[in-house]
Amino acid sequence: MRDTSLPHTVGVGFKPQHLDAILADTQPIGFVEVHAENYMGAGGPPHAMLRALRDRLDAVQAWWNRNMVRFDSLRQQSLFATLGFDPSDWRHMAAWIGGGLALFGALTAAVFWLQRRRQPRDPARELYRRFLRELARHGVAGGHAEGAGDLGRRAAQALPMLAKQIAKVVAAYEAARYGIAGDQSLPQLREAVQAFRTASRGQPR
C-alpha cells in the first residue's frame, strides 16, 4: 500500500557541493535524500547544512501549498475581485479575453520589431533594392531566386538604352556584396544606382 503522506514531486540526493544550487533554486523539491551516517557528528558545518535544507524545503513547500495546492475557488474569487473581474459576467470575460489577445499581439509585434532592428544593415542590399524598384517601374520585375547577373542580362535585353548603366550596377553590387570589405565598391554602387535612376527617368515606360 502506497504511503500517501509522501510528497508527489521529484526528490534529489544531497551532496554538500550542491547545497548552494538547491538553496538558490525556487522550484519545489519533494524530498532530499540524506545518508544519516554522514551526519553522526555533534553539530558543526554538516548539521548547519541540514538546517539550511530544512528551512529551504519548509519555505518552498509552504509557498507551493499556499499558492498552488490551496488555490481553491474562494481564493480564485478573491483574486478576481482584486482585479475587478467578475467571471460570471460574460462581458467581463469577453473584455479580459480581448485585452489578453491584444496584449499578446502587441508583445508579439514588439518582439518581431526588436528582432528586425537587431539584424545588421546591409547597405549594398538596400541600394540594390532601389535598383530593383526602378527596374519594376519600367516593367522588368526581378525573380524571387534570380541572381543579379541573370537579372542584369535580362534587363539589358528589355531596356537596351540602359544596358550600360545596368551592367555597372550589377558589377558594383556583386563587388560590394561579395568582394573584399573596406574597398570602394559600395560608393561605386551608390553612384551606379543613382546614374541608372537618372538615366531611366528620361526613358519611356
List the single range of 58-62, 126-130, 144-148 with lowest mean pLDDT. Answer: 58-62
For residue 32, the number of C-alpha atoms closer than 13 Å in the C-beta half-sphere is: 23
pTM for the full model?
Answer: 0.43
Mean pLDDT of the chain: 77
Give the pLDDT score at 180: 58
Q: Name the pLDDT band for 168 (thresholds 50, 70, 90).
A: very high
Q: What percent of the chain has pLDDT over 70?
A: 67
Q: Is 195 or 56 the better-scoring residue by pLDDT?
A: 195
Give the pLDDT score at 2: 45
Give the pLDDT confidence of 98-108 residue by residue, as tens digits: 888 888 888 88
Q: Is 14 or 97 the better-scoring residue by pLDDT?
A: 97
Give the pLDDT score at 1: 41
Judged against a pLDDT cut of 90, whether residue 169 lies above it is answered with: yes
Cα separation, 48 vs 6, in Å, equals 25
